[in-house]
Amino acid sequence: MTLTAAATVAGLLVASPWQRLGLLELGALLTIPLVWQSGRSTSAKLTYLTVVATSALSLVLGDLLIDLGQPDWARALIFTSICVKLAAIPLLFWLLKLADELPGLVLGLIVAVVDMAALGELLILAQASPWALTPQGLWLGVAAGTALIASILMLSQRSLKRLLVLSTVEDIGFLLMGIASARALGYSGVVFAAATHTLAKALLFACISVPEAAGELDGESTGLASRYPISGFGFLFGMLAMLGVP
């Protein structure tokens, strides 16, 4: 988990596009052993492996095609990579499947670090090569649809981990809108919102890890905050941060 976080942060800080791409994809690849070690079913493990491999291959090929002067295919591959890795519509269900299979800490690492880093990479690409995010209507439609569907699905969920995952997917939809807007205000909003989301969602998943380890999240347990006051206190702060409270 430490190596994943270090590779991801380093990837967002380096200036070279290929070094950045290599470090960010390395961070995603390092989560595969965690998923295989902690996942409950083989199907979930293979699903995540397929997602990471497909996303990485599409993004690398897309960057190569940019250098080769093939913008149309490059745009298609970059769009595919982002939709797969960020679980945007119509591919959001793979992340919901993992919510039922993985412990909270591993799930939090994927959604709070790897996914937000992928958004950071997309933001850098949008600023350097705005044409890569065209047609704008397609990106805005996917972003709005992702946020809308995730918010609707949240209404019927009783699983705390599924709710946290769906809230991430919903936020990803709004963040994609900011990037697709191709405006400085949208870019600035994405930076602040993604940073807040990373810290808050990491805190929320860390707080549920203690009751989860005790088997309290498997059923319809109530009164968790009274039995786990420290986790409840941290969870409250995480929720306030997600709501935008200063």
Residue-level pLDDT at 219: 62
Angstrom CA distances, 8 to 1, 22, 43, 88, 179, stand at 11, 10, 26, 21, 20
Task: Give dist(CA 180, CA 159) in Å, integer.
Answer: 31
| CA-based nearest residue to 113, from 11, 243, 218, 224 | 11
Residue-level pLDDT at 158: 81
Q: Which two tokens stand for residue 226?
A: 């009274």
pTM summary value: 0.88
Q: Tell me which of 9-13, 137-141, 232-236 is least confident.
A: 9-13
Q: Quick one: which H or E segment has residue 120?
A: helix 115-128
Please enumerate in sequence order all residues whose Cβ is within 8 A of that of 137, keeping only pairs 6 or more positions apart, or say none: none
pLDDT tens digits, 150-194:
999 999 888 888 899 999 999 999 999 989 887 777 888 888 888
Mean pLDDT of the chain: 87
Phi then psi dihedrals of residue 225, to 5 deg: -65, -35
Q: Are 166 and 154 in contact (CB under 8 A)?
A: yes
∠ CA 54-55-61 to the nearest 5 degrees?
A: 90
Q: Are 112 and 197 in contact (CB under 8 A)?
A: yes
